[in-house]
Amino acid sequence: SDEHAEHDEREHHSDEHAEHDEREHHSDEHAERRELERSKLELIERAEMLNEQRRQLEKARREFEKERENWAKRRESEKGN
């Protein structure tokens, strides 16, 4: 019966280990999920920033095109005189 008791003790011990591992694994998953969430938010912020920069560049490009057209027209009219 001592053998039985020892066997039970070992089984109980390995169950505790399994539970502990499971808990650790679970908290790892939580940490990973938080990390992913944070990365996702950073990417979203970055995308918004890049979109804003792109809008500003588009606006600047349009203004530049207008300036260039005006400049070309002025040169044409100066040549005409």
For residue range 43-52, list pLDDT tens digits in order: 999 999 999 9
Tell me what the mean pLDDT of segment 67-77 comes to. 96
Cα–Cα dist 12/44, whole Å: 48
Using the CB atoms, write b or e for 36-62: b if 16+ within 10 Å: eeeeeeeeeeeeeeeeeeeeeeeeeee
Whether the predicted model's global pTM rises above the 0.75 cut: no
